[in-house]
Every structure is written in C-alpha cells, then in structure tokens.
Structure 1
C-alpha cells in the first residue's frame, strides 16, 4: 500500500515542520537549522533555501501563495510565494508558535503557542483580533472541522478544547489522554475527531456531541501527526517511536507498519510531521534524523 520511494537530505538538524503547496509538486520544511527549505516532489530534489530564520521553525502552514512560518522565538513570518519575499514578520506569541491554521471564510488565521494562548489574526491586515487563553500551558495542535465552524486545540495538560469559530466560545473540554495531546485531526466527512498524545493513544470522538467512541494503543511513544488520505478511506500516523502506520478510516484497522524495526525502510529517529500530496500518490514524512522521506501509494 505504501512503499519507500526516496530519502531526501539537505537539513543539517532535526526537522519539525512540513507543509504542502497549492502549486503542484512543491512542499516546504523547517526545523532546527538556518532556513525554510523548498523541495520539488516531481523532481524528488532540493530546490533552495526559501528564507532564512533566526530561530528554529516549529510550524509551517501554506495557504494559497502565503507561507506562514512559526518560530521558537514566538515570531511569525509570512512569505509571499508569488513575490518570493517575506512580506511580514512580527511577534505572535511570547513563546514558541506550535501550529497555524487559516479560516478562509472569515479571512482570519489562528496561531497556537507555548504560552497557552491562541491568537486570532486578520488575514487582510494581520492585526490581532483576539487572544484566547485556551490553557495554562502549551497549545500544541490545531484542527479545524471540515465546515470550519469549530476548532479543536490539543493541549499539554492532556485536554482537547473545542471552540465555536463564530464567536470563539468554548464548547467542550475532552478529557481522556493521560499525557499531553500532540496531534488532532477531523475526519474529512466531519463525523469524528482523532486525537493523539504523548500517551501513545489514539482517541476517536464522535461529532457533534464529542463523545469518546474508541481508544487505540496506536504507538509506543508520542503520536506526532495524523493525516487522512485525500481520496481513499485511510489515514496515517507518525510517532516518536520512528514508525509510520496506515489505518482504515472506516474500520480503524491497522493495515501497514513502516519501520526499520519491522525490516522496512524507515526513519532512524522520531518522526515529527507528515502530509499527503494533493493527488494522494505520495506520503511525505520528516523528523529528527534530518531526512525527508517520500512514500509512494502502491495499489
């Protein structure tokens, strides 16, 4: 179902952030080194260092021609891909920026920080509209429901907080993980939310009532990423345990494990991020071993 296609080198240190582009065949990575890197998926190669950074990149998010870059310093940079230039750079949080999400219908974007807040920003003039105190500690991950009416925030205190995006009111606090929540993702049909944590568990929450439906001991260590295949009923997870796992999104069955410990190709250190290509032909993963790995969907 998935087979190793290529390992791409270029980073000198661990890679923490990964995002795809609306431009076919382009993606971006960032981590604990001096710049954001642009890659070609069609050529399977490094293109260039897109922009320098002062501190480690903890989050990347691409929306149309804008690339949002969240840094350990709490700074947020915006790189305009059409102009090939940084068009904004400002202090979004007092501490590191861990995740970024755009709400196109509202012309707003969200930033989640180690300071426990979520910033709500205008996409048109970049002004701060609200700052929500979501948690007493780090807000690690953001997931928007497919209809963009609700947002799930995964927090270091082990809770997931669900907010209504019309007025940013708190709807639910989901308490199940025993350790920090490190990843959250809604299913494409919006029928459930998946959360992954440092407790190595995957929890499945029904919507709109957010009742716990299933708990799966998915990995050996932290679940750092969850990504649904764009067209087929599968999702993939990546973990600090160095494995990639492919699951059925309808039956929640485990279909594939990619790990050097299972005698397949794999990362040698923690896997921090994953994305699917827009056509679903490729899965891209990256992590602490400084590598970008491309996996091909093999029917």
Structure 2
C-alpha cells in the first residue's frame, strides 16, 4: 500500500531536485526559488534556506558530509556540514548542469551538462581530472552501475552512451528514445539498464550487449526519473504526465499509480524528481506544482 503521509509547502516556483542528507531525517529541495531548502522529515516541517544560489538548481547530490547543487548557470556549489559552510562555488560548465553523481570507489564526482559533455572532479580537492565532449546536445542524466565500473548517459540526441570509468573510454553508443532520452538507471543487480524518454516509453536493456529486452508504454509524457527502492524489488518512475508509477523490478509489471486522477491526491503538474528515503519507508516526490509529497 502507498498512502500520502504529508505535503510540504513553501516553495513558490517549480521544484526540480530532491536529496536526503547522510544524517537521517533531513531533506533538501531546490528549483526556481534560487535557494537550497532544508526540511525536517521527523517533524515534517521547514527548517531553513541552507544557502542562496544565483540561478535555478536542476540537480542535488548528497555524499557523506557534503551536498552538491548544479545550477542553470553552469555553476556548482558544495556545502560542507562539518565546517558548516560553502567549500566550492564555481562555474564549471558554460551551460546548465543537469545531473551530478559520485563514484565512491574512485573518490570522484561526475557532472553532466547541456553543453554535451561530462566533467570528472576529485572529491579531495575539487580539481578537474578530465572533461569528455560526447554530444552536440544536452546530456540529461547519469546512471552508475552498482560496481561503478561503467556509467550510462541519457542524451537529448536520443542516444545512450556507455562509458568505462577506468579510463573514461566509450564502450557503446546506441539510439534509445525519440526524440530524446530523459532518464536512466541501472538495476541494483547490474544485469539491466532501464531508460525512459520523451516518448513516454520505458526500455529495459541487457548490460552484457545492450540489446533491448523489453519496451513498455509506461506514461503519457516524458519520463524524468527512475528510482529503485533501496531494499525491495520495486522501482518508481516520475513523469511530465503528473503521475508516479510503481513497478515490479523483477518482471517489470505495473504495481501502483500515484496520481490525482487515480487517487484524488497527487501532483497537479509535471513530476520532476522523486527519491526513496534511505530506510525505504517513504517515497518523496516533487514537481512543477511547487509541492513536496511524502508517501508512506
């Protein structure tokens, strides 16, 4: 069963990104409000604007005592919770940053941008290690394999690009969704790559040779997020069609629809991001309606 627990309000503009702190019970959100907002999941209430930013934030990434935000301006900011201050504030891409991921094994940060490149940074000193131009169009999302030996990139030019993280060489590149691939995630067992696109389709790819195994007409519009539950064999998808859908991660069958149309409660506009809490007890969603829904 899924039940709406609480709705957090306060944002006045669309929200694009969510992240849970390493410290249990703390949530962060960001979007067009030009500030990173901190919430208490224990009290289900607003805490503070953690730090202001100069442009919209499209992505957040939490790692240990650090929280990263990627901005429309191409700037990345990083807050250190031990020092309680910003420790990185720099324009690193000339166009908007759309996703940030961590390679824990290599202590590296991956950033993708509308400029069609990914940049790799050291988490030790925030120095650039490498920059790889891959497309003439936006790279929207980064998927990291559970073993961290490969990453998958969702591209606006409709491709998925597979990159070896040992030397950042391209392993594979193939057409996936028309006109663009908008979301991507590896299955926790590493055997499958799941992608979503502006075509509203979910596609399941075998990670041995990246052959298409299954195609699902999943939504009515673009799929913006694919998020696997931390322990259970299910995953959730968020879409521009205002709905969240829960899927069986073993047979890829639809399990539940969370929407205003189906339940009488849900998002009124595009659902832009969703995350599972680390304990797996709640699903948190947000979107263009400026609301944060917390589902038990």
Alignment gaps of 5+ in structure 2: none
Equivalent positions of 1:54-93 (< 5 A) are 54-93=54-93
1:273 aligns with 2:270: no
Equivalent positions of 1:116-131 (< 5 A) are 116-131=116-131
Cross-structure match for 1:135: 135
**Aligned equivalents of 1:182, 1:5: Cα separation in 2:** 29
Using structure 1 for the length normalisation, give the TM-score: 0.97
Aligned residues: 296
RMSD across aligned positions (CA): 0.8
C-alpha contact (below 8 Å) 1:20/1:27 kept by paired residues: yes
**Aligned equivalents of 2:114, 2:125: Cα separation in 1:** 24
Cross-structure match for 1:264: 264
**Aligned equivalents of 1:204, 1:31: Cα separation in 2:** 30
Cross-structure match for 1:157: 157
Cross-structure match for 2:233: 233
Using structure 2 for the length normalisation, give the TM-score: 0.98
1:35 aligns with 2:66: no
Cross-structure match for 1:109: 109
- The Cα of 1:184 is off from its aligned counterpart by 0.4
**Aligned equivalents of 1:248, 1:48: Cα separation in 2:** 37
C-alpha contact (below 8 Å) 1:258/1:264 kept by paired residues: no
Equivalent positions of 1:171-182 (< 5 A) are 171-182=171-182
1:48 aligns with 2:48: yes
Alignment gaps of 5+ in structure 1: none
**Aligned equivalents of 2:45, 2:119: Cα separation in 1:** 35
C-alpha contact (below 8 Å) 1:227/1:235 kept by paired residues: yes
Cross-structure match for 1:16: 16
- The Cα of 1:266 is off from its aligned counterpart by 0.4
Give structure 1 regions of 4+ aligned residues with deviation exceeding 2 angstroms. Answer: none
**Aligned equivalents of 2:176, 2:152: Cα separation in 1:** 14
- The Cα of 1:129 is off from its aligned counterpart by 1.1
SS in 2 for 1:106: coil
- The Cα of 1:43 is off from its aligned counterpart by 1.1
